[in-house]
Amino acid sequence: MAASHPDQTRPGQAGRDQNRRRDHRTALVAAVVVIQAVAAAFFVADALDDVAQDGLSAHVLIEGLIAFALVAGVVLGGWHMRTMLAEARRREEALAVASGALAEHIGTRFRDWGLTAAESDVALFALKGCDVAEIARLRGAATGTVRAQLSQVYAKAGVASQAGLVSLFIEDLL
């Protein structure tokens, strides 16, 4: 199912979509906080004006309460934004560390198996889910060459198929 739509199955796509959704959500909260802040400026000025006109009446007390609630809403909304942003950043960093560690681990394994540079490249594409034709196109090589390189990789790794190769690394992760 993947082979016909290589663009949709590119690794990392799902993570990026999720990041974008999170970005949109924080942008929405930010927009509400900004509107609240502008409204608070108007309302506080208006409440102060009413104090100037009438002194401290019950009406002014209610207005003061609303003004306070607006300002508190801005502060709390800002605080919420900050935790959202910090969490998003932490997740991004954790993901970068994890993907960096995995890349390092894959490199070590390839060296242990004694893969050549070309075989390592082919093996990496195989791990990312590309089939022989795609790898050949990406590397600008003949399919026959790629097939031969892949079977070398499988032999050195001690597996029989692409699925076997992938499962070696999945096992390490679990």
Evaluate whether 150 touches 116 at the Cβ level (below 8 Å): no
- The reply to whether 48 sits near another protein by the rule CB under 8 A is yes
Q: What are phi and psi of 67, to 5 degrees?
A: -60, -45
Q: Which CB sits closer to another protein, 82 or 144?
A: 82
Choose which of 27, 69, 98, 155 interacts with another protein (CB under 8 A): 27
Size of the site for another protein (CB under 8 A): 37
What count of other Cβ atoms lies within 10 Å of the Cβ of residue 97?
A: 10
List the structure tokens of 75.
Answer: 């502060």
Give Cα 163 distance to the centre of its chain: 26
- The reply to whether 53 sits near another protein by the rule CB under 8 A is yes
Q: Site mask, another protein, residues 61-100, x = CB under 8 A?
A: -------------xx--xx-xx--xx--x------x--xx
Residues of this chain, 115-144, that bind another protein according to CB under 8 A: none
Fill in the amino acid letter for 116.
T
Quote the Cα angle for 137-139-142, to 5°: 65
List the structure tokens of 24.
Answer: 């949109």
Q: Which CB sits closer to another protein, 105 or 158?
A: 105
CB of 24 to another protein, least distance (A): 10
SS3 80: helix
Kindly list the residues in this chain that would bind another protein in the complex (CB under 8 A). Answer: 23, 26-27, 29-31, 33-34, 37-42, 45-46, 48-49, 51-56, 74-75, 78-79, 81-82, 85-86, 89, 96, 99-100, 103
